[in-house]
Amino acid sequence: MNILGIETSCDETAAAVVNSDRRILSNIVLSQIDQHRPYGGVVPEIAARAHVEQIDGLIRQAMSGAALDFNDLDGVAATAGPGLIGGVMVGLVTGKAIAAAIGKPLLAVNHLEGHALTPRLTHDLAFPYLLLLVSGGHCQLVLIEGLGRYRRLGTTIDDAVGEAFDKAGKMLGLDYPGGPAIQAAAERGDAGLVNLPRPMLGRAGCDFSFSGLKTAVRRLLEKQPDLRPEDVAAGFQTAVGDVMVDRAGNAIHMARQFCPDLSHLVIAGGVAANSHLRQRLDELCRARGLELVAPPIDLCTDNGAMIAWAGVERLAAGLHDTLPDALYAPARARWPLDPDATPMPFAGKKA
């Protein structure tokens, strides 16, 4: 099967073609960082407009790069949520139009499921496994038991970790996005010179909280304006690492109650690119008898290949609507992977 994947949930416009042999035939991603940099975060209206301007050209590039005609496709997968609703609508409507024009199935994909299934594309990873999804809009620990069987163990009760990196970076006068900038600065800093809190550390469960950590950074800079940004960045990154290890450790214990043979922890999402967090989580996995799996950096951040692969899996399992019913698939700002999980506030990545 050849599936076209379209992703427009936040600030990357992306299109890719993936086949059922786990071959990525093309994967085109256009970042909007330059448009959002002046605001220090994603502005929904700017993001949606940029998607409208770029989506057609990116899809043409993806199809050309895959050396396929639209009639060679077996289906079209498009992100239907969660995300910034204006952007989601752009990609989903485009996917519906292509699917209707070629008479092939439309697969309305949950963006989080795209991240969740990526290690099956990149590593042919078998179910079950534990997923730590860390990005600008999401911070969750989810037990992936099978296709469509997702058990959320923990989530953020306020801000996502990627949003915390961006805001901390902005307070430190670093470049946008804050994640890569803080990591670069932290390599030149001394975390031992900075005292920051570790929200939720030592508590039962595996929920996250980062709002208080951001506030602590602001207050620290107000009280000690002469602190080196590099030292604060190192202290902030270390605090996040401590929290991640603590929460993931609890999640491993919880997950093994459902899946005693659990053997893999997967880290995905944009913040998964942080080498400090990867190292800390790898150490945790070794101590707990697990293996850490991290997709390539370009497949950790938002991309069309993960949406296409989710489409491959869903189409192969018959989990899709036929036309014309599929054309009524709604765009969703919120769409939890685990519908039985307790609702939490949406942690968006707005400016």
The H or E element that residue 47 is part of is helix 44-66
Find where tokens 């416009």 sit. Answer: 13
β-sheet bridge partners, residue 13: 30
pLDDT, position 136: 86
Instruction: List pLDDT tens digits, range 214-272.
Output: 999 999 999 999 999 999 999 999 999 999 999 999 999 999 999 999 999 999 999 99
Where does the chain hold its CATH 3.30.420.40 domain(s)?
2-116+299-328, 128-294
β-sheet bridge partners, residue 131: 142, 266
- Cα separation, 183 vs 37, in Å, equals 18
- Cα separation, 156 vs 37, in Å, equals 25
Please check whether the domain covering 2-116+299-328 is classified as CATH 3.30.420.40.
yes
- Cα separation, 279 vs 254, in Å, equals 22
Report whether 118 contacts 309 (CB < 8 A): yes
Instruction: List pLDDT tens digits, range 94-149.
Output: 999 999 999 999 999 999 999 999 999 999 999 999 999 999 888 999 999 999 99
Indicate if the pLDDT at residue 343 is higher than 80. no
Find where tokens 């000690």 sit. Answer: 224
**Looking at domain 128-294, what is its CATH homologous superfamily?**
ATPase, nucleotide binding domain (3.30.420.40)
The structure's pTM equals 0.94
* pLDDT, averaged across the chain: 94
Residue 166: name the closest of 8, 44, 36 by CA: 36
Residues 6 or more apart whose CB falls under 8 angstroms from that of 148 comprise 317, 319
pLDDT (mean) for 281-289: 98
pLDDT, position 58: 98
pLDDT, position 348: 42
Instruction: List pLDDT tens digits, range 140-187.
Output: 999 999 999 999 999 999 999 999 999 999 999 999 999 999 999 999
Report whether 235 contacts 193 (CB < 8 A): yes
pLDDT, position 218: 97
Report whether 297 contacts 26 (CB < 8 A): no
At 260, phi and psi to the nearest 5? -60, -25
Residue 270: name the closest of 4, 29, 52 by CA: 29
pLDDT, position 346: 44
The H or E element that residue 25 is part of is strand 24-31
146 burial via Cβ count (<10 Å: 0-12, 13-18, 19+): exposed
Instruction: List pLDDT tens digits, range 2-31.
Output: 999 999 999 999 999 999 999 999 999 999
Indicate if the pLDDT at residue 336 is higher than 50. yes
Report whether 269 contacts 300 (CB < 8 A): yes
Residues 6 or more apart whose CB falls under 8 angstroms from that of 149 comprise none
pLDDT (mean) for 194-211: 96
Indicate if the pLDDT at residue 40 is higher than 90. no
Instruction: List pLDDT tens digits, range 54-100.
Output: 999 999 999 999 999 999 999 999 999 999 999 999 999 999 999 99
